Structure formats: structure tokens, C-alpha cells
Amino acid sequence: MRLSRLWFIFPLAALALAFAAAGCGGSSKSDSSSGSGGELVFGTASDPVALDGALVSDGESLRPIDQMFEGLVTLKEGTTEVVPALATSWKADAAGTSWTFNLRENVKFHDGTDFNADAVCFNFDRWYNFKGPFQQQSATYYWQTVFGGFSDKKTPSLYKSCEAKDDHTVVINLTKPSASFLGALALTNFTIASPEALQKYGADKGSVDEETGFKPTGSYATQHPTGTGPFKFVSWTRGDRLVMEKNDDYWGDKAKLDRLIFRPISDNAARLQALQSGEIEGYDLVEPQDVKTIEGDDNLQILDRPAFNVGYVTINQKVPPFDKIEVRQAVAAGLDREAVVKNFYGGRGEVAKAFMPPSLEGYADDVQTYPYDPAKAKSLLQKAGVQMPLKVDFWYPTDVSRPYMPDPKRNFEAFAASLNKSGFKVVPHSAPWSPDYVGRVDEGKAGALNLIGWTGDYGDPDNFIGTFFQQPTDQFGFQNEEIFNTLNKAERETDASKRTELYQEANREIMKFLPGVPYVHTKPALAFQSSVKGYVPSPVSLEPFSIVSIEK
């Protein structure tokens, strides 16, 4: 055995390599800006699940799909305003159930096949006819949220049929009028895929096993996603990278970048360091405590994504005396919302006036407001004829951090202190977020007051105040026909400007009636190299990389 000599050689060689790397590392630093547009590497929090918009609901899948696919309509960059995409114009009939879309001409899928009315109907029919495991919420959450059921009619569906009138005119028939339908079509989930690629690469092929569910055997969603967008798929290695390249045959403004690469880096600190070392050009979900570091670095920049969530205090009117408006107003006046937002959100929060974020259509700035005023709270309680201090069961969740509520306990403690100064006597209660707390709140079993919030699914006011207040719920425990009616009317109204007015009206009614107290919207931060230009953050994270460029 002459092992002993070898033992020395390996580690020394490793060390030598390390030093050599250190010596000449600088020279081989990324030579990214070859070609005109260059390459952009974006750090994501995780891998996509699959690259088939119809079958995913997670943001990390939707982000790349967004770059490669387009729907009939899309949202104007940075807003929730619906604008043309694959459809150039559209019209609903008087009943609001039949929508005619005029399609863009001379558009081709990445596989060279034509985009036309048949392709649109093929996609709609595919979604409508999903069976078995495809009907799981984990697969078709957004179809079920927007359209309800499937062709097997187990549950009613909003979708009725799709007709190709001619090559470039398509009619989509609904079973009842819905105004949120158009906005929902801007969802990445309803982007149009090449029918030929879907079939050729077996998008819906796989075995259904009673025990293990759906096992896909096709390669469509992993190796052959085929849309019409400004980027096309190149390759995907799980855990490592997803590569896309510029679509030179794109019908609109072509992408400025030559290649776009998404690299999953799940650790927050690692994403920051990868940005600092120049391995990636940007990432989102920046931790609030890292914002200052990034802002202090001349090579880096922070962009704000408009708030798309709301943190609020529920007031359950089933619990007397909270059915009295004066008592609810006293709660609002007794919550020191400014202090909570200022102290616990690292500069990423803004005080909420209403139950939906300001970036959404239908937001009203002139709603009734309730500044912190303990004296006023006490006088309101007196007016309501209740004995002070008024005992109140106040719940908060544990083991959870949400964007709108990074540390629920701190929010609770601050709110409890300010309420105790305002004529209340807070009795604290808590439960672990999942599964107990959320269930309790939904079932109205979380005291008179509780901390909760909501992150929007899609850019429509219906997804905020419609979800909360369109019908009686155990959570809020009230009946208010005026509010229900306004929201029902708004949901059915197909005229965009009238619809906006109705939602504004609803917001005013809600904040007057005070079914709860919204207190915060938070703005997520994105970080980029300073050389990255043209990135427009969107409240619903629908952010096209095609308009992004790197300027050295």
C-alpha cells in the first residue's frame, strides 16, 4: 500500500486549484453582453411546476409562461387595465353572454403553425373538457375560480361554447352574463397554446392511477411549451435553469434581450449574494431588511411592485354589541394603524383606507376614514350605551408570516395596546395559522375581532371586495342588502366605466358600514442590477421581460 503519497496529492491539488481560481477568476467573469440584446438571468424562488398555463397556479410557473404565451387580452404594463393581445377588439352582445373577439392576423406559434379562431376554440374546449385528476384544484384552480365546472356538468360552468365564425373571428358563449370574464382572460392560465404541439407532445397524456393520481407521460409541459409570445422555449433543467430565447418571428415589438434565463435560488440570502456578485441580474421577493443594503449599492436598484393585498381586522357582527355601528367606529378609532404600519413593515407598507389596493380599477380615494383617536373611541362607546371598558375577544394567528402580516403577534400586541387605551379591554386568543386559525375565521369562531388578510388572485375588484362582501358570510356575520346589491350589479355590468363607478360606490358603502378595519397594503420589492432598464412591476406580477434591456 502506497496510499500515503496519494493522500497528500489530492488535497494539495484541490488547494492549488482554489488558488489558481482566485488568481484568474476575474478574467473569466461572465461575458454576457455578446450580441445586441444580451442575456438576462433572473433569480426565482423555486422551479416552475410545469409550463402549461392551464394546469398550474403557482407564480413561478406563471412567470415563464407569461414570457412565451399570450392570451386574447392582456393587462397594460404595470396596471390592471385590460388591453388587446391576440384579440384586437371585442364586443359583448346586449345580454352579456356572447363575446365576439376579432383576432390578430399573421400570428404564428413558435412551431410555425398558424394562430387562428380554430386554435382559440381548441384551447377553450381543452380546458372545458378536462376530466379526472385534471379537475383537481391543484391543476385547474383558475379555470374553476373563473368558469366553475367542466363539460361533465358536475358543477355549473360559466363557459358554454366556442365558435370559430371565420379564421379571425371567434365567439365565446357564456351561460350567464359576467363582466369579470374579460379581465380573467388576461390571466396567464388562459393563454393560447399551439394545438399541434399540445397533441404532438401529449399535453394531456398520462396514466391515471387510483393511488398516485395523474402521471404525465407527455413532454409538452416540460420540454415543448409552444405559444406565440416574444420569447420561445430553449431548455429546462430542474433545480438549475430555464432558458428562453428571443422569438425573431414575433408579430409585435420583438424582445430586446437575446436570451432570458430563470435560475431557482430558494434561499433569500443566497439570492441577494448572487445579485451582488453579478451572477443574476435581478430577483423578486426581496426581504424588507435587505432593501437598504441594495439601495446603498450603486450597482443595484430596487423597484416597487404595487401593493396587491390587504391586511385587515375582521369585526364579527354576530357578536353583540359589534352589530352597532358606533361600536365598530370605536374599534376603527381605537386601532393605531399608522404606528403598526410604520413600525412593523420595514417601509414596505402603506396604511389601507379600503379593502382593496389603490392600483385596482374601482378603488375610491374618497371613502370615509377613521384616524386613531382614543378619546373619540370612548365617546362613541358611550354613545352606543355600552359599559366601559368593553371586553372584546381578539384573535391572532401564530406560526405564520404573510406579506400583509409579517409578524402577526406584533401587530396584535400594538393593536391590543391601542384598543385598551380606547375604552376596550382586549382578551387575547391565538391559534396556529394552518389549519385551525383560518378555519375559525371562516366559520366566525374567532372572537369579535381577528387579524386576517388577503392576497389577490387576479386584477379585478371582484376578487377583493366581491369575495369578501357580495354575500353574507360567517366571518363578518352581517346582512346588508345595499352592499350585496351594488356588488352584484357591478359583477354583471359589462360597461367598463359604469362597472368602475359601481365598485367605487361599493367601496364607499363598505367603509361607511365598516364590516372590518383594513389597515395595510404592502409593496413587494424587486432588485436588479442598475444596468437593467425597462422592467415595469405589475400589481399582479404580470411582468413582460420583452421590454427589458441591459445597458452597460
Partner 1 sequence: MFKFIVRRLLLLVPILIGLSFLVFIWIRALPGGPAEALLGERATPEAIAQIERNYGLNKPIHIQYWEYVKTTASGDLGTSVTTRRPVTDELKQRFPATIELAIAAMLFSLLGIPLGFFAAKHYGRAIDSASLFISLLGVSIPIFFLAILLKYVFAVQLGWLPTTGRVDARIDFDHPTNFYLIDSLWTGDFSIFWDCVKHLILPAIALGSIPLAIIARITRAAVLDVQNEDYVRVARAKGLSPREVDSRHVLRNALLPIITIIGLQTGLLLSGAVLTETVFAWPGMGTWLVDAIRSRNYAVLQGGILFVSVIFVLVNLAVDVTYALVNPRIRVS
436-495 residues in contact with partner 1 (CB under 8 A) are 438
Residue 211 binding partner 1, by CB under 8 A: yes
Which one among 59, 84, 96, 278 touches partner 1, defined by CB under 8 A?
Answer: 278
In the complex with partner 1, which residue's Cβ is closer, 329 or 467? Answer: 467
Specify the residue, 263 or 521, whose C-beta has the smaller distance to partner 1. Answer: 263
**What's the first-to-final CA gap in the chain, in angstroms?**
58
Q: Where are the alpha helices (DSSP H) in 310-423?
A: 325-334, 337-344, 374-384, 408-420
Collapse the DSSP code of 50 into the 3-class scheme (helix H, G, I; strand E, B; otherwise coil) and give the result.
coil
Nearer to partner 1, 106 or 277 (CB): 277
- Alpha-carbon gap, residue 93 to 413, rounded angstroms: 53
From candidates 22, 153, 154, 365, binder to partner 1 by CB under 8 A: 22
- Of 249 and 267, nearer to partner 1 (C-beta) is 267
Q: Which of residues 103-142 bind partner 1 (CB under 8 A)?
A: 133, 135-138, 141
Q: How is the beta sheet containing 98-103 ordered, strand by strand? A: 87-92, 98-103, 169-174, 159-166
In the complex, minimum distance from the CB of residue 365 to partner 1, in angstroms, rounded to a whole number: 29
User: In the range 412-441, which residues lie near partner 1 by CB under 8 A?
Assistant: 432-435, 438
Question: Within 43-62, which residues bind partner 1 (CB under 8 A)?
Answer: 43, 46-47, 49-50
Residue among 121, 260, 247 nearest 192 (CA):
121
CA distance 15 to 22: 11
Q: Measured from the CB of residue 421, what is the shortest distance to partner 1 in angstroms?
A: 32
The contact pattern for partner 1, residues 212-251, with x = CB under 8 A and - = no contact, is: xxxxx-----x-----------xx-xxxxx-x--------
Q: Based on the shown chain and the rule CB under 8 A, indicate whether residue 541 belongs to the binding site for partner 1.
A: no
Site residues (CB under 8 A) for partner 1, limited to 496-535: none
Total residues contacting partner 1 by CB under 8 A comes to 71
- Is residue 60 packed enough to be buried (19+ CB in 10 Å), middle (13-18) or exposed (0-12)? middle
- Is residue 74 within 8 A of residue 85, CB to CB? The reply is yes
Contacts to partner 1 from residues 153-192, by CB under 8 A? none
Q: Are 43 and 280 a contacting pair, CB within 8 Å?
A: yes
Under the criterion CB under 8 A, does residue 296 sit at the interface with partner 1? no
Nearest Cα residue to 87 out of 67, 71, 108: 71
* Cβ nearer to partner 1, comparing 187 with 514: 187
* Candidate residues 72, 244, 265, 526; the one interacting with partner 1 per rule CB under 8 A: 265
Which of these segments, 79-87, 207-215, 223-231, 501-509, binds partner 1 (CB under 8 A)?
A: 207-215
Query: Residue 500 is which amino acid?
Result: T
| Residue 94 within binding range of partner 1, rule CB under 8 A | no
**Residue from 59, 84, 264, 358 binding partner 1 (CB under 8 A):** 264
Minimum Å gap between C-beta 489 and partner 1 is 26
Which cell is 204 given? 394531456
Choice between 384 and 400, CB closer to partner 1:
400
Q: Inter-axis angle of helices 481-492 and 496-513, to 10 degrees?
A: 160
In this structure, the number of other CB atoms found within 10 A of the CB of residue 384 comes to 17
Best CA proximity match to 448, nearest among 456, 460, 440, 458: 440
Which residue from 552, 461, 439 is spatially nearest to 508, judged by alpha carbons?
461
* Burial class, 202, CB count within 10 angstroms (exposed 0-12 / middle 13-18 / buried 19+): middle
By beta-carbon proximity to partner 1, the closer residue of 377 and 441 is 441
Stretch that binds partner 1, among 64-72, 159-167, 206-214, 247-255 (CB under 8 A): 206-214
